[in-house]
Amino acid sequence: MTRTADAFWLNESGNGEVRRVALAEPGPGEVEVRTLFSGVSRGTETLVFRGGVPENQYATMRAPFQDGDFPWPVKYGYLNVGVVEHGPGQLLGRTVFCLYPHQTRYVVPETAVTPVPDGVPAARAVLAGTVETAVNAVWDARPLIGDRIAVVGGGMVGSSIAAVLATFPGARVQLVDADPGRADVADRLGVGFALPDNALDGCDLVFHASATEAGLTTALNLLAPEGRVVELSWYGDRRVAVPLGEFFHSRRLTIRSSQVGTVGRPDRSYAERMALALDLLADPRFDALITGSSAFEELPAVMPKLADGQIPALCHRIDYGQGHVPE
Q: What angle do CA 27, 32, 33 make, to 5 degrees?
A: 165
Position 287 pLDDT exceeds 90: yes
Whether residue 150 lies inside any domain: the answer is: yes
The CA distance from 61 to 133, in Å, is 14
Long-range contact pairs involving 179-186 (C-beta distance under 8 Å, separation at least 24): 179/154, 181/312, 182/154, 184/288, 185/154, 185/159, 185/288, 185/289, 185/314, 186/154, 186/162
pLDDT recorded at residue 327? 46
Identify which of 23-37, 39-53, 236-250 has the greatest average pLDDT.
23-37
Whether residue 272 lies inside any domain: the answer is: no
Let me know how long the chain is. Answer: 327
Average pLDDT of 3-24? 94
Provide the number of structural domains found in the chain.
2
The pTM score is 0.92
Domain boundaries, position 198: 134-257
Where residue 246 sits, what CATH number does that domain have?
A: 3.40.50.720
Whether residue 229 lies inside any domain: the answer is: yes
Residue percentage of the chain with pLDDT more than 70: 98
Position 2 pLDDT exceeds 90: no
Q: Residue 151: in which H helix or E strand, if any?
A: strand 148-152
Where residue 61 sits, what CATH number does that domain have?
A: 3.90.180.10
Q: Are residues 15 and 41 in the same domain?
A: yes
Mean pLDDT, all residues of the chain: 94
Q: Are residues 208 and 165 in the same domain?
A: yes
Whether residue 269 lies inside any domain: the answer is: no
Q: Are residues 145 and 120 in the same domain?
A: no
Q: Are residues 41 and 72 in the same domain?
A: yes
Whether residue 226 lies inside any domain: the answer is: yes
Q: Are residues 112 and 139 in the same domain?
A: no
Q: Are residues 207 and 300 in the same domain?
A: no
Whether residue 174 lies inside any domain: the answer is: yes
Q: Are residues 140 and 110 in the same domain?
A: no
Q: Are residues 88 and 159 in the same domain?
A: no
Higher pLDDT, 248 or 245: 248
12 — pLDDT class (breaks 50, 70, 90): confident
Is 152 in contact with 215 (CB distance < 8 Å)?
Answer: yes
How many other CB atoms are there within 10 angstroms of residue 233's CB atom? 25
Whether residue 264 lies inside any domain: the answer is: no
Is 315 in contact with 37 (CB distance < 8 Å)?
Answer: no
Is 148 in contact with 142 (CB distance < 8 Å)?
Answer: no
Is 307 in contact with 89 (CB distance < 8 Å)?
Answer: no
50 — pLDDT class (breaks 50, 70, 90): confident
Rounded to an integer, what is the distance from CA 281 to the centroid of its chain? 13
CA-based torsion, 77, 78, 82, 88: positive or negative: positive
47 — pLDDT class (breaks 50, 70, 90): confident
Q: Are residues 117 and 139 in the same domain?
A: no
Task: Indicate the DSSP class of residue 39.
Answer: E
pLDDT recorded at residue 324? 47
60 — pLDDT class (breaks 50, 70, 90): confident
What is the tens place of the pLDDT at every residue in 145-178?
Answer: 999 999 999 999 999 999 999 999 999 999 999 9
Cα–Cα distances (Å) from 319 to 39, 51, 155, 278, in that order, read 9, 25, 21, 19
Q: Are residues 103 and 49 in the same domain?
A: yes
Whether residue 167 lies inside any domain: the answer is: yes
Q: Are residues 83 and 48 in the same domain?
A: yes
Q: Are residues 246 and 141 in the same domain?
A: yes
